[in-house]
Amino acid sequence: MKSEERGSKFDKFFDVARGSVRGGLFLISGNALGTLLLAVASIVIARLLGPEAYGIYSISLVVPAFLLIFANLGINVAVVRYCARFRAEGQAHLVPDIIKTALLFEFFYIIYFLHNCIRVCGGVLGVSFESSVD
């Protein structure tokens, strides 16, 4: 009896470990792909803009890059916490609603964040992005 209990515990452990490894591989491959795309985009932008314009472009990214430190607002941590909690409590039907709400919030927050970053960077560089109607 005890060996059967021990066997089922090990099976459960190995299932969790297998899922963790699989998730980790997805995470690593996603990060690697994102880094590769950023590197390619940087090279293409540098070639298209030339040295002087690329320098101005790089300077204009300093403020948004600094502000991105605060951009997440802990949403990712909350989503992971509550999704795990609701699944453990047998309320898995709430998980899609949590994810949809978080994605919607992030979308509107990013739009707001980008709008303000464009205004700040434009002010720093002396460029106006406002449309003027004569």
Quick one: pLDDT at residue 29?
A: 92
Q: Which distant-in-sequence residues (6+ apart) come within 8 Å of 49 by Cβ? A: 57
Q: Are 65 and 44 contained in the same domain?
A: no
- Residue 56 inside a domain? The answer is no
Q: Are 71 and 129 contained in the same domain?
A: yes
- Residue 68 inside a domain? The answer is yes
- Residue 89 inside a domain? The answer is yes
Conformational region of residue 131, where left means phi above 0, alpha means psi within -120 to 50, and beta covers everything else: beta
Q: Quote the CA–CA distance of 108 and 129 in Å, as a whole number.
A: 20
Q: Are 19 and 65 contained in the same domain?
A: no
- Residue 71 inside a domain? The answer is yes
* pLDDT band at residue 4 using 50, 70 and 90 as cut-offs: low
- Residue 40 inside a domain? The answer is yes
> In terms of residue numbers, what domain contains 43?
1-49
Given a cut of 70, whether residue 23 has pLDDT beyond it is yes
Q: How many domains does the chain contain in total?
A: 2
- Residue 113 inside a domain? The answer is yes
Q: Are 103 and 41 contained in the same domain?
A: no
Q: Which distant-in-sequence residues (6+ apart) come within 8 Å of 129 by Cβ? A: 118, 119, 122
Count of other CB atoms within 10 angstroms of residue 6 = 10
Quick one: pLDDT at residue 37?
A: 93
Q: Are 77 and 131 contained in the same domain?
A: yes
Who wins on pLDDT, 129 or 62? Answer: 62
Q: Are 73 and 115 contained in the same domain?
A: yes
Token digits of residue 60: 């204009």
- Residue 126 inside a domain? The answer is yes
* pLDDT band at residue 13 using 50, 70 and 90 as cut-offs: confident
Q: Are 70 and 44 contained in the same domain?
A: no
Count of other CB atoms within 10 angstroms of residue 23 = 10
- Residue 54 inside a domain? The answer is no
Given a cut of 70, whether residue 133 has pLDDT beyond it is no
Q: Are 126 and 66 contained in the same domain?
A: yes
Give the global pTM.
0.49
